[in-house]
Amino acid sequence: MLKNKISDKWLYFAIIVLVIYLVIRIINLYGIVEEFPLDFSNDHSAHMSDLYFLEKYGYGENILNWYTFVGGYPLLKFYHPARTFYGMFFYYLLGSVEAATYFAMVSIIILGFIVIYLLGKYYGLSPVKRIAMFALFFANPILIGYYRIGRHSEIFGFLWMILFIFIVLWYKDRKIDWKFLWFIPVYSLLLLSHISIFLISSMLILSLLLVKKNRERIVILLSCFATFLLTAFWTIPFVRDSSETFVGGFYGLQRTLLLFTKETLIDRVSSYAIPLIFFFVFYLYYKTNKNKRELIFYSIPLVIGALFFTRILAFVPILNRPVPDTYNMFFLFLSIYLFLNLRSDKLLSYEKNIIKYGLIIIPIAAVLLSLNFTSFYHGHDQENKDIISLFPYVDDQLLIIGINGYPRPYYSYGAVYYDIYTPSGWGSQSVSKEARGKSGLPNKYLIDGNCDLFLKSMKDIGGKEIITRDDNCNFLIKCGMNPIRYSNSICLLKIKE
């Protein structure tokens, strides 16, 4: 069976290029262990503060440090909890939110390799092909960007997605037995890791139902029901109460695929390219493994892929909520799996050439795209240093506005190291749309240069102190705020009582 598949030699170049690049990127990110990340491309800080808050407050309790004017927000009620609980092991072990966040992420990548390498042999993949599967998936430009930004829940979710897909693909051609019980914990952890990845992956349950008989279908549906029972502690409150929050009104495909802006360009291009790759690879796979059962099973992903490619999916309820990357990663993994199972003896010579040259061009293109669109971690700049140097002098509810960087990482740093309170923060997905809007009004009125509305908006949200920079300092002093301390061009101001 193995000798009929594509040659391992074709994969060497891709493996070497992608693995080396992945290692370089992971080494570079060690910088977030050495100093708390405060740069603009930064979700790491949100996950760091989640670890701190989980220990300080506990699961489901109100985080009082952030969104103080509405009494805080419930920790992890409207955000996937599994990754934070996983990270707590590293937090207790290492005693540092920075180290815990970094090493938890690295461990997920290592676990991804272990899962693919150990399970891949049961799907007829040689050791080289298993390493290639890992490299093509975990070192692709999308995930490299996720490592850099700190999309930890998504990364964790993709790990469970792989396990879930392996289970479904195993039972696609086999009778369901007692070992199918593994489906329940894996599917549960997939849901608790990332609900969008869970939603998209679930289309394969429909695929499995299509190729099974009634008795097996009942077992599959009962296993799904058991999953919802196990996760009810989170899913029921999430579904019941999220409608009034930012999460309740989030439609990922509409926010990206239907907006023709510079910011959505990569999403729009990738959501054409990856479905096309999936369609092409499936064509080759079906051509070399002609089997009606395969066509029936993959009909669901093919239909969803077509709707995604044509943008019709942006108008389909529920399925329009995930962001394009989530669909892209799902179709990418299926493409890699099908590609590595192609029978090369049934490919035409030009098809073999496309594959050979593609395995040289695609890794190089992937690295170049990543280098162009995903920055390396560079550590603290002068603004970062100046702002955190003022934190020891903060003694009331703080708002950071009018700076060059991104305020939210500072709120994480301030909470973890100085127990600073703020009417803003990271948990915007967990508060009402009205509260989210009110917390942003001071920045709006600062930009507008309206003193009266600025001071009123600060009073409405209980803000007492401001960190800002340059001319904003002089403007707010003229508005009646008192200067407390300066650090170069950065100032700490307080509203007059």
Instruction: Give tens-digit pLDDT for 390-431.
Output: 999 999 999 999 999 999 999 999 999 999 999 999 987 888
Instruction: Give tens-digit pLDDT for 168-213.
Output: 999 999 999 999 999 999 999 999 999 999 999 999 999 999 999 9
Q: What is the pLDDT of residue 3?
A: 55
| DSSP line for 220-288 | HHHHHHHHHHHTHHHHHHHHHHGGGBTGGG--HHHHHTT--SGGGHHHHHHHHHHHHHHHHHHHHHHHH
Decide if 15 contacts 131 (C-beta within 8 A).
Answer: yes
Residue 1 has pLDDT above 50, yes or no: no
The proportion of the chain whose per-residue pLDDT surpasses 90, expressed as a percent, equals: 87
Instruction: Give tens-digit pLDDT for 87-98.
Output: 999 999 999 999
SS3 367: helix
- Return the bridge partners of 343, or none: 5
In whole numbers, what is the pLDDT of the chain averaged over residues? 94
Residue 292 has pLDDT above 50, yes or no: yes
Average pLDDT score over residue span 348-364: 94
CA 226 to each of CA 149, 238, 305: distance values in angstroms, whole numbers, following the listed order: 34, 18, 29
Predicted structure pTM score: 0.95
Residue of 65, 35, 34, 69 whose CA lies nearest to 52: 65
Instruction: Give tens-digit pLDDT for 268-286.
Output: 999 999 999 999 999 999 9
Residue 357 has pLDDT above 80, yes or no: yes
- 222 by Cβ neighbours in 10 Å (0-12 / 13-18 / 19+) ranks as exposed
Average pLDDT score over residue span 322-342: 96
Residue 199 to residue 185: CA distance in whole angstroms? 16
